[in-house]
Amino acid sequence: MAPLLEVDHLRVRFKTKSAVKALIEKDDDPYIDGVMGVSFAIEPGQTYGLVGESGSGKTTVARAIMGLLPVHSGAIRFHGENLVGLSRDRIKPFRRDIALMFQDPAGSLSPRLKIRSILAEPFRIHDMMPENLSVEVARLLKMVNLSPSMGDLYPHQLSGGQARRVGVARALALSPKLIIADEPTAGLDVSVQGEILNLMAQLQNDMGLSFLIITHNLAVVRHVSDHVAIMYLGRFLEQGPTQTVFHRMRHPYTQALLSAHASPDPDAVHHRISISGEIPGLVSRPRGCEFHTRCPGVQEKCRRQFPDKAGAGKDHRYFCHYPLSVPEN
């Protein structure tokens, strides 16, 4: 099957100083790399999980796909058509097919609009006003298991879970094919988190939607996504089918991230792969392999040279000079 979305060596750079300042300081490269050449593909009806710590560039990837950030190089193909470099007018039809659920559910809803108007906005922007708007709004609310009377409320009258549902409804408004969900469960209680994820799974079953889910919650990704990429400082250090990455990981960072989860068993014995410190800033990107400053198995070569891409079986890719051995089973 042809992939729905194909991202090919995507690179996003941010300017760190003005052109004049760069000239004065004789800095011929006044940029930092937010995303350093990531490639992945999402099949129709599938869910791709993007995992990483804060500052790893997950949201930047999402914004680049949405055309909200200038792309430095690489391609973003949707249904085979490259979206990079398209003009505003040309890209607009694609925007209908790709919807974004923003990170902060309450903050992404305008406090001055009623839910009804918030849900009408996508139609207005794309000149696709349905004949009977209130029927359409009621239909959207029903899809996310909210009562149609909620259309008359303001965002501050909703609970966190309800606001999140409105975010889902708004993303669904123009019947997209791909929904990018940025931290769909952050800040929600565990009991509500399940409701939102179940709703998304239900919609995926019913409508054949594809999802790109961005999260730092590995427990969630393990259940909901078919493929997963582990991101660190703008690179996919490891990517592949979820089961493979979780059970036959080759990159030490993946292993460390997986072992960093507290267990609900007070008697659990933790085999923690301790990684010390925090993710370095993009401005001070380490030389060689970016993870070497925290890697438990760091060697001389890691400090000098970024590893080449290595593959291990179908779709499973990683970047490491000294990959972990695969557990026997």
Partner 1 sequence: MAEPVLNIRNLSVNYFTPRGTVQALRCINLQVPPAKVVGLVGESGCGKSTLISAVIRLMAENARVAAGEIRFLGQDMHRLSSRDLQNIRGKDMSMVFQDPMTALNPVFTVGRQMKDIQYRDAVSRKEKLKRASDMLSLVGIPDAVSRLDNYPHHFSGGMRQRITIAMALLVQPKLLIADEPTTALDATLEVQIIRLLKELQTGFQCAILFISHHLNVIAELCDFVGVMYAGELVEKGSVRDIFHRPGHPYTRALLECDPSVIAEPTRFLPTIPGEIPSLIDLPAGCIFHDRCPRAAQVCKNTPPPEVSLAEHHTAACHCLEV
Contacting positions for partner 1 (CB under 8 A): 53-54, 159-160, 189-195, 197-198, 201, 216-220, 222-224, 242-243, 256-257, 260-268, 272, 275-276, 278-279
What is the sign, positive or negative, of the torsion defined by CA atoms of 63, 65, 68, 73? positive
Could you tell me which residues are beta bridge partners of residue 41? 6
- Rounded-to-integer distance, Cα 58 and Cα 311, Å: 22
**Closest to partner 1 by CB, 30 or 280:** 280
Give me the least distance between CB of 320 and partner 1, in Å please. Answer: 18
Give me the least distance between CB of 189 and partner 1, in Å please. Answer: 4
Phi, psi of 315 (to 5 degrees): 60, 5
**Closest to partner 1 by CB, 115 or 224:** 224
Spell out the residues 6+ positions from residue 288 whose beta carbon is closer than 8 angstroms to its own.
301, 302, 303, 304, 305, 306
**Closest to partner 1 by CB, 110 or 243:** 243
292 DSSP assignment: G
Give me the least distance between CB of 264 and partner 1, in Å please. Answer: 5
**Closest to partner 1 by CB, 34 or 52:** 52
The answer to whether 49 and 197 are in contact (CB under 8 A) is no
DSSP string covering 100-166, please? EE-S-TTTTS-TTS-HHHHHHHHHHHTT---SSHHHHHHHHHHHTT--GGGGGS-GGGS-HHHHHHH
Give me the least distance between CB of 219 and partner 1, in Å please. Answer: 4
Give me the least distance between CB of 167 and partner 1, in Å please. Answer: 17
Give me the least distance between CB of 84 and partner 1, in Å please. Answer: 31
**Closest to partner 1 by CB, 6 or 183:** 183
- Rounded-to-integer distance, Cα 180 and Cα 295, Å: 31
- Rounded-to-integer distance, Cα 309 and Cα 239, Å: 11
**Closest to partner 1 by CB, 99 or 275:** 275
Give me the least distance between CB of 78 and partner 1, in Å please. Answer: 25
**Closest to partner 1 by CB, 10 or 42:** 42
Could you tell me which residues are beta bridge partners of residue 104? none
Give me the least distance between CB of 90 and partner 1, in Å please. Answer: 36
Report helix, strand and coil shares of the chain as percent, to nearest 5: 35, 20, 45
**Closest to partner 1 by CB, 53 or 136:** 53
Of 179, 178, 172, nearest in space to 146 by CA:
172
Residue type, 100: L
- Rounded-to-integer distance, Cα 48 and Cα 230, Å: 11
